[in-house]
Amino acid sequence: MKKLGFGIVGLLLIATVYYFTAGSSQAVQEIKKQVNHELTTLQQNGFAIEQRESKAAEEHFVVSFDDPAKITNYLISRGMQANQEDILVLEGLKLGVDAKYLQDSYSALSVNIYPLKLPRNVSENTDPEDKAAVERLKKMIKEKVFLLHIDFNKLLNGFKGYVKDIHETFEGKEEKVTFTSQGFKFEGTVEKEKLKTVHQSLQFLSLDAQKAFNAKLSDITFNYTFTGPSPYDTESDHHIGEIKIQAEPGFFIHMKNLNGTAKNSVQKGLLKSTVSSKADEIRIMKDHKTYTLHNILFDLAIDKLDIAAFEAFQRVDINDTKAVNALSQKIFSKGFSVSIPNFSAEKITQDGTTMDGFDLSSSWSINRVLDINAVSQDPFSSISIFSNKTHISVSADLFAHIVKDPRAMMFIMLLPPVEKEGRKIYDIEFINGKLTVNGTSF
C-alpha cells in the first residue's frame, strides 16, 4: 500500500505554485484546473478516471489501473522507479480518491486514497485455499482499512501525511496470521515541480504467524534528498532500531541499531552508487547455538551502470532472449563493476565465548568486449570474461573455531592461509580464467 500511495501521490502533485491572494473560491477553481489537467494526463497514460463527483470544495473519483505497459512508461517518465512486471500485478486495481480543497490553515489540497477493488489476478483467484483470504481482503476494503492521507501546503511546495494504522488477523484452517503497522508518517518538499526531499517514519511493523514465522521491526526512519536532474541522483539515510525474526525449527535472528547511507549520481548516462551500512549487533540462534556479531560494517559500490539499458530491462519481456542479450551487451560494454570495499565484524561471540572477528573486501568487473551471444551459446566461454579480487582476514581465534568443521579443514589443507600480524589471510584473484590464491596458481 505504501508503494501504491506514493505512486498516486506523485501523480497528484500540482504543477504550478499559486499564491492565494484572490480569495478561497478563486483559489479552489485554480487548483481544480490543475487537478483536471493531471487527471486528463492519467487517462492518456493507461489509467481510467471513473465515477467523478464534484462539489464546491471537494470531489470524489476512482482511478483504475487499465494498461500496465502505458502506466509503466508514464511512471518512469515522471521520475519514478517502476517495472512492467510489478504494474502488471496491479491490473484491474481501483483506487478511490477523496479530495478536499482549503480544508484547514495548512492545506491547499487534502487527499484520501484507498483501494476499492482488488487487482484482477487477486479478485479472480479460484484457488480454494486462497478463497478465505480474498474474501477477508474484500471486507477490509469495504472498511477502508488501507488508507493513505496526504495534505499539500498552500504554496504547493510541501506535503505531509500518514498511512492509517493497521491491525488485522487472517485465519485459515490451520493457521492464523496477524499484520500490524503503526505510526507510518511522511513529509516532504517540492522544488521546480519535482520531489526534493522525503522523510518517512514508522513506529512498528510486524507479521505474526505464530510458531511458523514471526517478524517485528521498530523505530524506522528513511530520509531521501533528490540532488540532480535524474530520479537516480539521490542521497539517503536510514535507521532501524530493532529487527526480530523467528522461524521454526529453532531459528531466531535479532538485529539492533541498523544505520545506513547511500549516494547515487548519474554522469553521461552512467550510474555510480555507494552504500554504507552498519549494525551494533546481530544475534543468531540456530540448533540450540547462539552466535553474536558485534559492530558489523558493510559497504557496497556500483560503478558505470548504463541507466538507459537498466530502465529498458524493467520494460522488456524476459522471454525475449534477443532483447535481453542486447541490453546485457550494452551494460557490460560500459565497464560495469561491483565491489564490496568492506564487510567486517569487530567481535564474534559464540555461546558466551568472545573472539576477534573478520574483514573482507572484494571487487568484480566484466570484460568490456564480452560477446553475450557467444556466451549464451557456450556458457564455459564466460569464465574468462569475469575478474575478481578478494581479500579475507580472519582472527586466529575465529580461524581455530572454523577449522573444527571437517569441511573447512579439508579446504584449509588444500589451500592454507598466510599468517600476518596474528591473523589468517587469503588473497584470491580470478583474472582471465586463472585462479590465484595467496600467490599460488590453479
Q: Confirm if 297 and 343 have CB atoms less than 8 A apart.
A: yes
Domain boundaries defined on the chain: 25-141, 227-244+256-441
The confidence score (pLDDT) of residue 35 equals: 78
The confidence score (pLDDT) of residue 376 equals: 65
Q: pLDDT tens, position by position, for the chain (442 residues)?
A: 334 344 444 433 332 223 333 344 556 677 777 778 888 888 898 888 988 888 878 889 999 988 888 888 887 776 566 667 778 888 888 999 999 887 777 788 899 999 998 888 887 766 777 777 788 888 889 999 999 999 988 777 889 999 999 999 887 767 788 999 999 999 999 887 677 899 999 999 999 988 788 999 999 999 999 898 888 899 999 999 999 999 877 889 999 999 999 999 999 999 999 999 999 999 999 888 899 999 999 999 999 999 888 888 777 777 888 888 888 888 888 888 999 999 999 999 988 899 999 999 999 988 766 666 666 666 666 666 788 999 999 999 999 988 888 888 888 888 889 999 999 999 999 988 889 999 888 7
The confidence score (pLDDT) of residue 323 equals: 85
The confidence score (pLDDT) of residue 104 equals: 73
Write out the three cell numbers for 294: 558485534
The confidence score (pLDDT) of residue 352 equals: 86
Residues 6+ apart with CB under 8 A from 409: 403
The confidence score (pLDDT) of residue 13 equals: 36
The confidence score (pLDDT) of residue 434 equals: 87
